[in-house]
């Protein structure tokens, strides 16, 4: 009798653990609240939006927990994540974005200022939310290749250069519906771990005005040839955020910090750490801007590997923001030129202050350091202030830049590193080199070109002669003042190492220069 009762209890317990709950019951499966218990069907064809939302709402009303996607493919439109709810996408499970724009028309709670595109998964003012598990979310993005419809004003000169070089004037465009995969707005206590985010049509992960965010071990993938606007991770006006151990390969920016303007309101980006990531981008791997309506401060990018990327490390201020206390450290980068319609020149580094429009304020970049950077590229690295508003306190320590022949016909590169309009420039233990293994370029010029820079301290530079350009100085300084150039090493017999335009410069001092024995 006792033995029989014991066996019945064991069987009932196992059944409770193994079977997902049915809608309206208070019993959870072994791993949480299964969406299949609410009517979701993982056949990749049945629209499951209502069933998934019912599971989330039920979990939220019960105080929170996990909503589980067991192996299968779950087709859905917009779903809204709520307080204390985790989406657990198990290995073998995929959430599929619907290709019907009507499935996104009524559920998107995100304000228009977050972008006109609807979201697949969204949350606003939510606390303690998460997406986890070894499964995936697939945006099912579609694009088409078409004649250039209009010229992007930001790259109008590059576009014209491509046209005159005989480049085919075509590019990729997005096919409706254009859906951003995840938008979290004004959320706190957010976690993304382990999940793969694949082929978003718009931005993949957009965090707007969020705090206490932890992203670890995720994978983001979109077509490197076609994925226009398919940014990997957009950090927009957020604070207290850590991104680590991620693999991101995207057709647009891989990881980008922004401060966008939503109906006249913007918020700063601060206290952000990005580390231990592997990045590939047809635009920029690690970037601040271009949307810069509020400030960026106390930001660290470290221990990253960048491969096959159109631009490596970038800060672009167009809307009047101040960028300060930013560090790029321990980064290996490989930059390769992409077609004209992508932003980037195959350049490892670009810092610049611009004006989006004649009415825009002029921003500031100051207290930025590059430490232990090894990069190859096909474009000129540039550090560019705005006339009358120089960048301030820029440091490059143990930075090695190598330039190679461009693989495309619309040539752009000239110097290895060009710097202008800076006040306070420190360069220590630098190496600037030309790689002629694939050939040379007619436009190649100086290894280092400095103009309109004050208070320069250059101590330790290995530099070589520009291939095929005998007589061109390795280092050129013009319209600059208060500089000390010391410990320059060259392996060339040329004595034309440094050219200072004395009529335009003042107080330029040189120390030790070492030639080959």
**Per-domain residue ranges of the chain:** 31-139+188-208
pLDDT at 17 over 80: no
Distance CA 131, CA 273 (A): 20
Contact 156, 217 (CB under 8 A): no
Q: What percent of the chain stands above pLDDT 70?
A: 91
What are the pLDDT digits (tens) for 265-294? 999 999 999 999 999 999 999 999 999 999
Contact 265, 113 (CB under 8 A): yes
Q: Report the 10 Å Cβ neighbour count for 23.
A: 12
Confidence bin at 464 (pLDDT 50/70/90): confident
Distance CA 243, CA 60 (A): 27
Q: Tell me the three-class secondary structure of 342-402, residue by residue.
A: CCCCCEEEEEEECCCCCCCCCCEEEEEEEEEEEEEECCCEEEECECCECEEEEEEEEEEEE
Strand partners, 354: none
Distance CA 256, CA 306 (A): 14
Q: What is the pLDDT of residue 30?
A: 55
Question: Which class is domain 31-139+188-208?
Answer: mainly beta
Q: What is the pLDDT of residue 13?
A: 37
Written as six digits, the tokens of 193 are 């771990």
Q: Stretch 57-72: mean pLDDT, rounded?
A: 97
Distance CA 418, CA 467 (A): 18
pLDDT at 64 over 50: yes
pLDDT at 18 over 60: no
What are the pLDDT digits (tens) for 102-144? 999 644 566 555 556 899 999 999 999 999 999 999 999 999 9
Of 260-264, 312-316, 321-325, give the lowest mean pLDDT range: 260-264
What are the pLDDT digits (tens) for 167-186? 999 999 999 999 999 999 99
Contact 252, 230 (CB under 8 A): yes
pLDDT at 339 over 70: yes
Q: Stretch 8-19: mean pLDDT, rounded?
A: 37
pLDDT at 29 over 80: no
Average pLDDT of the chain to the nearest whole number: 92
Q: Report the 10 Å Cβ neighbour count for 285.
A: 34
Q: Find, among 339, 406, 412, the residue nearest to 170 by Cα.
A: 339
Our separate counts of H helices and E strands in the chain read: 3, 39
Q: What percent of the chain stands above pLDDT 90?
A: 86
Phi, psi (rounded to 5 degrees) for 152? -70, 115
Q: Find, among 237, 297, 234, 291, the residue nearest to 271 by Cα.
A: 297
CA distances from 322 to 167, 191, 252 (A): 37, 29, 24
Confidence bin at 517 (pLDDT 50/70/90): low
Q: Name the one residue in this structure whose structure tokens are 């995840």.
A: 182
Rounded to 5°, angle at Cα 377 from 374 and 382: 90
pTM to 2 decimal places: 0.93
Q: What is the pLDDT of residue 110?
A: 65
């Amino acid at each position: 009798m006792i033995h029989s009762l014991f066996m019945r209890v064991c069987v009932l317990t196992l059944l409770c653990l193994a079977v997902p709950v049915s809608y309206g019951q208070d019993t959870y499966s072994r791993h949480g609240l299964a969406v299949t218990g609410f009517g979701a069907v993982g056949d990749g064809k049945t629209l499951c939006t209502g069933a998934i939302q019912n599971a989330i709402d039920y979990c939220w009303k019960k105080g929170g927990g996990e909503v589980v996607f067991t192996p299968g493919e779950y087709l859905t439109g917009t779903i809204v994540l709520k307080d204390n709810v985790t989406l657990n996408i198990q290995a073998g499970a995929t959430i599929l974005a619907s290709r019907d724009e009507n499935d996104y028309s009524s559920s998107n709670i995100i304000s228009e200022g977050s972008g006109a595109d609807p979201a697949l998964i969204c949350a606003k003012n939510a606390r303690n939310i998460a997406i986890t598990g070894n499964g995936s979310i697939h945006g099912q993005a579609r694009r088409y290749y078409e004649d250039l419809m209009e010229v992007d004003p930001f790259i109008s000169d590059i576009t014209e250069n491509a046209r005159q070089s005989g480049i085919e004037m075509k590019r990729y465009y997005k096919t409706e519906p254009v859906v951003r995969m995840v938008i979290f707005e004004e959320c706190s206590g957010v976690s993304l771990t382990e999940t793969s985010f694949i082929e978003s049509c718009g931005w993949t992960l957009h965090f707007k005005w969020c705090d206490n965010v932890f992203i670890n071990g995720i994978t983001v993938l979109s077509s490197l040839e076609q994925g226009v606007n398919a940014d990997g991770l957009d950090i927009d006006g957020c604070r207290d955020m850590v991104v680590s151990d991620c693999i991101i390969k995207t057709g647009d920016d891989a990881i980008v910090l922004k401060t966008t303007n939503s109906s006249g309101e913007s918020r700063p980006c601060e206290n952000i750490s990005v580390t231990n990531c592997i990045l590939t981008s047809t635009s920029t791997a690690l970037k601040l801007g271009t949307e810069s309506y509020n400030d960026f401060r106390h930001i660290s990018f470290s221990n990253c590997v960048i491969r096959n990327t159109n631009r490596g490390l970038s800060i672009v201020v167009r809307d009047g923001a101040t960028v300060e206390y930013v560090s790029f450290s321990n980064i290996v980068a490989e930059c390769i030129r992409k077609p004209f319609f992508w932003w980037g020149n195959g350049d490892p580094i670009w810092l610049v202050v611009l004006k989006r429009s004649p009415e825009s304020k002029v921003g500031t970049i100051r207290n930025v350091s590059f430490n232990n950077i090894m990069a190859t590229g096909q474009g000129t690295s540039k550090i560019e202030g705005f006339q009358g508003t120089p960048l301030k306190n820029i440091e490059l320590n143990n930075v090695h830049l190598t330039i190679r022949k461009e693989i495309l016909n619309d040539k752009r590169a000239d110097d290895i590193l060009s710097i202008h309009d800076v006040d306070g420039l420190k360069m220590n233990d630098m190496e600037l080199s030309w790689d002629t293994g694939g050939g040379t370029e007619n436009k190649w010029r100086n290894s280092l070109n400095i103009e309109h820079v004050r208070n320069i301290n250059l101590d330790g530079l290995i530099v070589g002669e520009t291939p095929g350009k005998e007589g061109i100085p390795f280092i050129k300084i013009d319209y600059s003042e208060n500089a000390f150039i010391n410990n320059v090493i060259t392996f060339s017999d040329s004595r034309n190492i440094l050219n200072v335009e004395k009529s335009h410069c003042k107080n330029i001092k040189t120390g030790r220069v070492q030639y080959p024995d």
